[in-house]
Amino acid sequence: MNIDLGDFEQNELQQIPINKIRLNPFQPRKDFEPEKLAELMQSIKTYGLLQPIIVRVVEGGYQLVAGDRRLRACSQLGWTEIPAVVRELSENAMATMALIENLQRENLSFLEEAAGYERLLREFGLTQEVLAQRLGKSQSTIANKLRLLKLPEKVKEKLLKEELTERHARALLKLPDAAAQEKILNEICNLNYTVKQTEQRVEEYLRSLSAPLPAKERKKVIIRDIRIFLNTVRQAVSLLESGGLGPKIKEKDFGDYLEITIRIPKQRKQKKTRPAAGSHIAREINQAATT
């Protein structure tokens, strides 16, 4: 796809009623800074509109392809018509063109840029490789931008609000969960960390996760494990008893260690049986017969 935003002939220009133009649903830019818009309005008021907007024909009018800020500025200045170039474009081309325009003007935040990539991939089934070719970027650049969208919404909002950089955001991606990301982000904002300081703080946090537990904490874990072990041993002895093996268990606590002795007979215990009723009479008769 070959898209040139500035390639048009003077005779292609048309004056189009502003109220006939619909906004571009694929506009990647979500926030329009009032100060920047006011500066553009003043420039247009002084020098006129130096570059026309680009539209395409749709049912009932036109749809904006490129020039969202210019259209908004002219509308707020009270213009009823605006110079425009009409192009025949598919939705795919229109969405790509809107993204390219904003990238060329460098007025997108890194998160808006990432969201724009994601929408192009999702809406039109493009691969990262194809999108990279259309935008003149490497596939790894596209992939790295898209990873930023994995950050929690609260984190992304604060990154934009505090005007932090993409490298700050990339450092936060290394953290294991949202709680850690919010914690470190608050530190970044409160202490005005540079990118380098942020990266160092993230590495420090990750090292702390793999550090050994304090002795007190280790002791708690060991005690808990010993109790589980003792319960397991006692249950095993109980099973042996129910099987008639008659085991004996002794436990001695020596403070630093616990001694457990288990004695298990090699033969099952023989249960004592009571003589059958009348058996002693039979014995007496037998004895009498032999005397």
79 falls within a domain: yes
138 falls within a domain: no
Q: Are residues 101 and 3 in the same domain?
A: yes
Q: Are residues 10 and 103 in the same domain?
A: yes
287 falls within a domain: no
Q: Are residues 16 and 104 in the same domain?
A: yes
Q: Are residues 59 and 161 in the same domain?
A: no
**Domain residue limits at 192:** 151-211
Q: Which of 89, 103, 87 is nearest to 27 (CA)?
A: 103
Full 3-state SS string of 4-20? CCCCCCHHHEEEEEHHH
30 falls within a domain: yes
* CATH number of the domain bearing residue 2: 3.90.1530.10
Q: Are residues 1 and 102 in the same domain?
A: yes
Model confidence at 8, in pLDDT bands (50, 70, 90)? low
Q: Are residues 25 and 101 in the same domain?
A: yes
126 vs 49, 132, 192, CA distance in Å? 35, 10, 39
84 falls within a domain: yes
Q: Is 265 left (phi over 0), alpha (psi -120 to 50) or beta?
A: beta
**Tokens encoding 23:** 């906004």
Bridge partners (DSSP) of residue 253 are 258
Q: Are residues 203 and 249 in the same domain?
A: no
Q: Are residues 23 and 84 in the same domain?
A: yes
Q: Are residues 156 and 67 in the same domain?
A: no
Q: Are residues 26 and 85 in the same domain?
A: yes
Tell me if the pTM is above 0.75: no
pLDDT at residue 272 is higher than 60: no
Q: Are residues 187 and 220 in the same domain?
A: no
pLDDT tens figures, 93-121? 777 777 777 666 656 789 988 988 888 88
Domain count, the chain: 3
pLDDT tens figures, 178-233? 999 999 999 999 999 999 999 999 999 999 888 766 666 555 555 556 667 777 77
119 falls within a domain: no
Q: Are residues 15 and 91 in the same domain?
A: yes
pLDDT tens figures, 136-182? 889 999 999 999 999 999 999 999 999 999 999 999 999 999 999 99
Q: Which of 37, 178, 169 is nearest to 111 (CA)?
A: 169
